[in-house]
Amino acid sequence: MDGVEQTNESWRILIVEDDERLAELTREYLESNGLTVSLETHGGPAVERIRNEQPDLVVLDLMLPGEDGLSICRRVRPFYSGPIIMLTARTDDLDQVLGLEMGADDYIGKPVKPRVLLARIRAMLRRVTEGSQGAGDEGSGEEPVRLQFNDLVVDRSMREAWLNDESIDLTSAEFDLLWLLASNAGRVLSREEIFTALRGIEYDGQDRSIDVRVSRIRPKIGDDPIHPRRIKTVRSKGYLFVKEA
């Protein structure tokens, strides 16, 4: 068994997977490592279960009976802000891009290795937990918990952002990326740096998830998608968050 972290005890995971044997084996592994796991094997009831249970994280299969994972992801985002990891047996980049555009935070190819899934779950939930516990850091000489750039405010402790005092609707992964870029304002971050910081694995040079998320974040923070002034693409290098946009 992997070392169980004390903070894992309160983490509740909902797995939506129609392969009952795989789902049960995955549940056993995750629970042996300190997580609380519930299962749903049909796409039909998944939306209401997510709405009612509000799990800390959802593991969502792409291909499901009743309703597919993309549709479920799109429908739950208005009322569920937790991380969603999508499982896909397909290798088509389009499915991965669509999943991210519908609001998924990460994706893992099937067959799923339980150890890899556990590592991704822990990494995502740690970021959420650390952000919410960061309220006491301000003034301590550590990284600030609130950043302001004219009409844009990003708060790490609340995991929220505002534009002209209006709350911005961001997924967990979008917030993590926005915070990473904003807290490094004025410095170009390569896709390799961003990928490693957010997903904890090396960038393979092909993954488009960072580009998709940037394209989703730009209009939400009042940036021009065609001629961005706040999050600039630096050709062959990465992305730059401009301090005074």
Q: What is the pLDDT along the chain (245 residues), one digit of tens a residue?
A: 444 444 555 799 999 999 999 999 999 999 999 999 999 999 999 999 999 999 999 999 999 999 999 999 999 988 998 899 999 876 666 666 777 778 888 888 888 889 989 988 998 888 777 665 554 444 444 567 899 999 999 998 888 999 999 999 888 888 999 999 999 999 999 988 988 888 766 666 667 788 888 999 999 999 998 899 999 999 889 999 998 76
The answer on 153 and 62 residing in a single domain is no
The answer to whether the CB of 156 falls within 8 A of the CB of 179 is yes
Domain count, the chain: 2
The answer to whether the CB of 180 falls within 8 A of the CB of 189 is yes
Instruction: Please state the φ and ψ torsions of residue 155, each to the nearest 5 degrees.
Output: -120, 115
The answer on 119 and 56 residing in a single domain is yes
Residue 1 lies in a domain: no
pLDDT at 201: 64
Residue 186 lies in a domain: yes
pTM for the predicted model, two decimal places: 0.71
pLDDT at 1: 46
Buried b / exposed e along 156-193 (16+ C-beta atoms within 10 A): bbbbbbbbeeeebebbbbbbbbbbbbbebeeeebebeb
Residue 112 lies in a domain: yes
Residue 7 lies in a domain: no
User: Could you give the CA distance from residue 216 to residue 74 in angstroms, rounded to a whole number?
Assistant: 14
User: Could you give the CA distance from residue 108 to residue 23 in angstroms, rounded to a whole number?
Assistant: 15
User: Could you give the CA distance from residue 73 to residue 162 in angstroms, rounded to a whole number?
Assistant: 23
Residue 3 lies in a domain: no
The answer on 123 and 16 residing in a single domain is yes
The answer on 181 and 84 residing in a single domain is no
pLDDT at 3: 44
The CATH number of residue 213's host domain is: 1.10.10.10
